[in-house]
Amino acid sequence: MIQNKSTLMVIADISGSMGEAAKPAILRDMISHIGEGLSLKNNTLPFNEIELFFCNEKCKSVKIKSTEDLLTLEFGGKLNIDGVIDLLKANKDDNINRVIILSDWNLNKENKQRFVNFVKHKKKFSIRVVLIEIGLTVEDIKNMNSRHYFHPQDISKALSPWPILE
């Protein structure tokens, strides 16, 4: 067991583009997988709690009691990247330093750059994005930056221990 475990912040994109094709099912599977991994005895995950947020125009903290709760997700609107940034800025809990974003990352160039600029200056967080996009290959993601972007089939790798910047 890893000592000094912390909380994993999971930000799930529920914007309209995430409601297309198989994306809702993939998102549900990713959230379920994270929860199931945490419930295993003697797991080696670097966190011992999950704080889940659903984000579109607004970000809201959500408690999931069972996987059936995930079946009623409603998708709509656009992902407000400023809302995601505000959520990360508002986090005063020193136990939350790992963040996984589950999204198709369907942002315009300006919003992507604003997020990248924010992350560059936030040494407290280690952020990984699991890209939920139909037709996206593992090779596509490797060409982006394999340290920060992951294919859904690599969710276990995305959850594995990773360094936290001090």
Q: How many helices (H) and strands (E) does the chain have?
A: 5, 6
**65-102, pLDDT tens digit by residue?**
666 667 678 899 999 999 999 988 887 666 667 899 99
**134-162, pLDDT tens digit by residue?**
777 777 776 766 567 888 888 888 888 76
What is the structure's pLDDT at 2?
Answer: 44
Is residue 55 predicted with pLDDT exceeding 80? yes
Domain that holds residue 22: 6-159
CA distances, 129 to each of 10, 45, 69 (Å): 10, 17, 23
Give domain status of residue 36, yes or no.
yes
H/E segment holding residue 143? helix 138-145
CB 23, CB 4: distance < 8 Å: no
Give domain status of residue 88, yes or no.
yes
Rounded to whole angstroms, the Cα distance separating 153 from 139 reads 12
User: CATH number, domain at 99?
Assistant: 3.40.50.410
Strands 59-62 and 96-103: unpaired
Average pLDDT of the residues of the chain? 82
What is the structure's pLDDT at 64?
Answer: 72
Give domain status of residue 1, yes or no.
no
Rounded to whole angstroms, the Cα distance separating 149 from 162 reads 13
- Total structural domains within the chain: 1
